[in-house]
Amino acid sequence: MSENSFSMPLEGIVPPLVTPLIDDQTLDLEALKELVDRMLEAGVHGLFVLGTTGECTSLSYSLRRQLIEEVCGMVQGRVPVLVGITDTAPDESVALTDFAKRVGAAAVVAAPPYYFGLSQPELVTYFERLADRLSLPLFLYNMPSHTKTMISVETVVALSRHPNIVGFKDSSANGGYLHALIYAFRDRPEFSIFVGPEEMMASSVLMGAHGGVSGGANIFPKLYVDLYHAAKANDKESIVTLQAKVMEISAKIYALGTYGSSYLKGLKGAMSLLGLCQNVLAAPHTAFGEADMEKLKRNLESIEGV
């Protein structure tokens, strides 16, 4: 696969890459390379940088550009690199896309602008105008808990007619909505539909989704790749076994405390305990304290067979 190219529909496990940090202004390049190599060796089908898991909104633009360039250089076109460009200023999204294209990214991903909520007609106008200006294909990103805006099924269908809008990632965790979306595209298999919540990935693929953007693949990449392949093959026995492990990870790593960022604190905390990256979150967020890390350590040690 060459840089800036990929076959549609994109399918499989496309992990939302954690951003390994030494501090707010410094990437941990050694950890980043080990993380990328580890996921590629496990057979992931793409990488998504600057998503929610990558702390996209907390990173400076200079750091975002460095991250994109480093990851594309490490991947060398072996899988597509998708880049998050969500912003409240369209010009920033366009500029980051142009940079990503120059260094070898294959596509970009954008959620609705946050702060002021947008109506569905405004979303259509916004994304159509943005897609017109982008130098890479665009995946839409539904993240209503963070943007205050739900992209309706009808809006996705309307936007899918734009030649530069090629897919959709749903992180609403709304099963009925996702099934309605899959049904709406039952005769459009070339339009990729990905699910964010990894707890729903296997069932979504069974229903016709193309894959998952599974944060846990930063820690256990082979587990999620194996679960995806089991779902594609309708291997129910394997699905049941692997899905139970995914649910255990969710309960023991992502659900500690009542923080809005519990998922991220748990994920990076677990990765630090496994020696995969430092336990550093970009401001304004902070890592788990000592008590929570002790709980996390016990929980992580109790997860077997991954």
Give the Cα separation of 114 and 116 in Å (integer).
Answer: 6
What whole-number percentage of the chain has pLDDT above 90? 91
Catalytic residues, by residue number, are 52, 115, 141, 169
What whole-number percentage of the chain has pLDDT above 70? 98
What confidence tens digit (pLDDT) does each residue in 124-147 have?
Answer: 999 999 999 999 999 999 998 888
User: pTM for the whole thing?
Assistant: 0.95
pLDDT band at 306 (very low <50, low <70, confident <90, very high): low
Q: Which residue has the tokens 């880049």?
A: 83
Give the Cα separation of 245 and 223 in Å (integer).
Answer: 8
Are 86 and 56 in contact by the 8 Å Cβ rule? The answer is yes
pLDDT band at 257 (very low <50, low <70, confident <90, very high): confident
Q: What pLDDT score was predicted for residue 21?
A: 98
230-236-241-244 Cα dihedral, nearest 10 degrees: 100
Q: What pLDDT score was predicted for residue 2?
A: 46
Amino acid symbol at 160: S
Q: What pLDDT score was predicted for residue 5?
A: 67
Alpha-helical (H) ranges within the chain are: 29-41, 61-75, 90-103, 120-133, 144-147, 153-159, 175-184, 201-207, 221-232, 236-249, 262-273, 290-302
What confidence tens digit (pLDDT) does each residue in 263-302 have?
Answer: 999 999 999 999 999 999 999 999 999 999 999 999 999 9
Q: What pLDDT score was predicted for residue 189?
A: 95
Mean pLDDT, rounded, for 64-78 = 98
pLDDT band at 258 (very low <50, low <70, confident <90, very high): confident
Q: What pLDDT score was predicted for residue 110?
A: 98
Q: What pLDDT score was predicted for residue 115?
A: 87
Cα-based angle 182, 254, 34 (whole degrees, multiple of 5): 90
Q: What pLDDT score was predicted for residue 305?
A: 66
Nearest of 44, 29, 90, 74 to residue 213 by alpha carbon: 44
Mean pLDDT, rounded, for 17-24 = 96
Judged against a pLDDT cut of 90, whether residue 176 lies above it is answered with yes
What confidence tens digit (pLDDT) does each residue in 75-126 have?
Answer: 999 999 999 999 999 999 999 999 999 999 999 999 999 988 899 999 999 9
Judged against a pLDDT cut of 80, whether residue 1 lies above it is answered with no
